[in-house]
Amino acid sequence: MLHVIIMAGGHGTRLWPESHKERPKQFLTLKDGRPLILEAAESLDGLVAREQIYVVTGESMAPLVRESVPWLPERNIITEPVGRNTAPCIGLAAIHLLRHDPDATMVVLSADHWIEPHSVFCDTVQFAINLVEELPERLVTLSVRPTGVSTSYGYIERAEKINSHVCQKWSHFANTYEVSRFHEKPDRQTAEQFVKSGCFGWNAGIFVWKARRIFDLIAKYQPEIGRHLEKIATAFETETYESVLAQEFPQMQAISIDYAVLEKTDSLVCIDAPFRWDDVGTWQALDRIHQGKHDAAGNLIENVRVDAVNSHNNIVRSFDQQKSIVLVGVDNLIIVQSEHGTLIADKSQEESIRRAIAELE
């Protein structure tokens, strides 16, 4: 059976002041008045039943999950005592699925990304599912076609094209490749070379695989994590589950699934995915996901009255509609006001926001 795992444990500090420890970015309404996590949860409607959608999140964030995705069954919220990056997160989700479905297929995605159109995303995931059905030991990741040069994303370098029966059936839609290697966020010059070569895609962190297969590979390449997961699994359906989870999970190494497994296996393939995607990692993502909604001067204005004089390419966002904001002679600024604070930053300095917030805290 098909199951969707939504990872919802991040904090998104570069989206301060709206994103903070009490309400991280996956719960923000950045487009169409809907939380990002709800968009993620409903992005595969029609492909998977809602009863088969699960959210993995921190204990403190479980109430926000219930509020943001009100139709999600309580049993489908899997809580982590502490954050330990994506490998332990995915491993925990896998053992939960294997309790009731030994042949479970997992779709793994993040709660705080933006994807459009959903119809193309559903088709891409169906393609990935078919690839796993064709060869159950396969691990499939989605490599998004770059729409420009970006230093904000990791990249996947493609190798040989795969021409299996399933790949030929879907060749009108997208191609599939072996994965050569992963690349961390590059500098501008390197990113330009990646995009120009045509052999690279953005690493969207979206995966499809068998739950048993990914658990076995975690246990193979990260045996300590595997042992802790096995101890947690033995406590399912017992009164000791919460205490065992609280004891075992924090002992796991904090490591991404990329480093823990994907860079070590030769079973990984990638689909050259055609949908539009953004990890919404910084405020400038609003310029991308709200294309066509800027004023004549290139300003993006949300939820507030703004009078702009000789001011261009600014992002202005506030939920205090009782007050106006006046811009005079300023360009390329990010201005965000919330009950938690006010941010004024030059777009070119946006990567420094995380450091500034760390000093505040």
pLDDT digits (tens, 9 = 90+) for 246-277: 999 999 999 999 999 999 999 999 999 999 99
Average pLDDT estimate for 124-151: 95
Give me the percent of the chain exceeding a pLDDT of 90. Answer: 84
CA distance 240 to 116: 42
What length does the chain have?
361
Residue 322 pLDDT > 90: no
Per-residue pLDDT at 12: 73
- What confidence score (pLDDT) does residue 361 get? 66
Contact assessment for residue 167 and residue 271, using Cβ atoms and an 8 Å cutoff: no
Percentage of residues of the chain with pLDDT beyond 70: 100
- Averaged pLDDT, 203-230: 98
- Predicted local confidence at residue 31, as pLDDT: 87
What average pLDDT score do residues 2-16 get? 90
Tell me: the pLDDT tens digits for 45-75? 999 999 999 999 999 999 999 999 999 999 9
Residue 351 has pLDDT above 80, yes or no: no
Of 28-42, 202-216, 306-320, 343-357, where does mean pLDDT reach its minimum?
343-357
Mean pLDDT throughout 202-226?
A: 97
pLDDT surpasses 90 at 140: yes
From 180, 190, 159, select the one nearest 262 (Cα to Cα).
180
pLDDT in the model for residue 355: 84
Question: Average pLDDT for residues 292-304, to the nearest whole number?
Answer: 94
In the prediction, which pLDDT does 150 show?
Answer: 87
State yes or no: pLDDT of 348 exceeds 70.
Answer: yes
**What pLDDT, on a 0 to 100 scale, did the predictor assign at position 358?**
80
- For residues 292 and 294, what is the distance between their CA atoms, to the nearest angstrom? 6
Closest to 52 (Cα-Cα) out of 96, 83, 8: 96
256-259: list long-range contacts, CB under 8 Å, 24+ apart: 256/85, 256/86, 256/87, 257/86, 257/87, 257/90, 257/207, 257/214, 258/86, 258/154, 258/182, 258/203, 259/87
Q: Say yes or no to pLDDT of 183 above 80.
A: yes
Structure tokens at 42: 């409903």
The pLDDT of residue 6 is 98
Strand ranges (E), the chain: 2-8, 29-31, 34-35, 53-58, 77-80, 105-110, 114-116, 139-144, 155-161, 176-183, 200-210, 268-273, 276-278, 300-302, 305-309, 315-318, 324-328, 333-338, 341-346
Nearest-CA neighbor of 21 among 30, 13, 32, 29?
13
Question: Whole-angstrom Cα distance, residue 41 to residue 64?
Answer: 14
Q: Give 205 or 151, the one with higher predicted confidence.
A: 205
Amino acid in the structure at residue 205: G
Residue 172 pLDDT > 90, yes or no? yes
At 284, which amino acid appears?
A: Q
DSSP 3-state of 63: helix
Helix (H) / strand (E) containing 168: helix 165-169
Q: pLDDT tens digits, residue range 66-100? A: 999 999 999 999 999 999 999 999 999 999 999 99
**Against a cut of 0.85, is the pTM above it?**
yes
